[in-house]
Amino acid sequence: MTPRTCLIVDDSRIIRKVARRIVEGLGFEVDEAADGSEALAFCGGVIPEVILLDWSMPVMDGMTFLRRLRALPGGLAPKVLFCTIETRAERIAEALSAGADDYVMKPFDGEILTSKFAEVGAV
């Protein structure tokens, strides 16, 4: 069985590293992108099953990436979890209405991320 795939999009290398360790622990093969445009280029080739997405990033932010991803062929398939420092209810609602499957407020830990993956049906 091919392992399931997850793309972690965050401009912080440390966050990517922490998230990677947790997501690999859930049995995923992980790729990383440092901003939305890198992530979009990646998704032009192969679309991962789950995308963990920061909001505020240089070059292209998470919201722009999400809208463009959803317009790609096959772009509705991946489960997208925003994962950001932004915790205001109206911003969370905005992300969900833009097509995010779930939303993780930083800081998070393995238990939170695991439960989020379970709730969106990724594990």
Partner 1 sequence: MSPDDFDRLQSLMVSRAGFRLTRDRMKLAEHRLGPVARREGFETVDAMLGSLWAKPVASLGWAVIEALLNPETWFRRDRVSFDTFGKELLPALGKARGGQPVKIWSAGCSTGQEAWSLAIAAREAGVAVEIVATDLSQRALEKARSGAYTGFEIQRGLKAETMLRHFDQAEDAWIANAELRAMVHFARANLIDAPTDAHRFDIIFCRHVLGDADPARRGEMFDNLERRLVDDGCLFLGPDEQPEGDSIAFRPVAGRKGLFVKSPTALRRVA
Residues in contact with partner 1 by CB under 8 A are: 87-89, 92-93, 95-96, 102-105, 107-109, 111-112, 115-116, 118-120
Q: Return the closest-CA partner of residue 72 out of 39, 95, 103.
A: 39
Q: Which is nearer to partner 1, 76 or 96 (CB)?
A: 96
Q: Which residues pair with 33 in a beta bridge?
A: 9
Integer CA distances (angstroms), 50 to 16, 61, 90, in order? 14, 18, 24
| Minimum distance of partner 1 from residue 115's CB (angstroms) | 5
| Closest approach of partner 1 to the CB of residue 119, in Å | 5
Rounded (10°) angle between helices 110-119 and 13-25: 60
Q: Nearer to partner 1 by C-beta: 40 or 79?
A: 79
User: Toward partner 1, which CB reaches closer, 40 or 78?
Assistant: 78
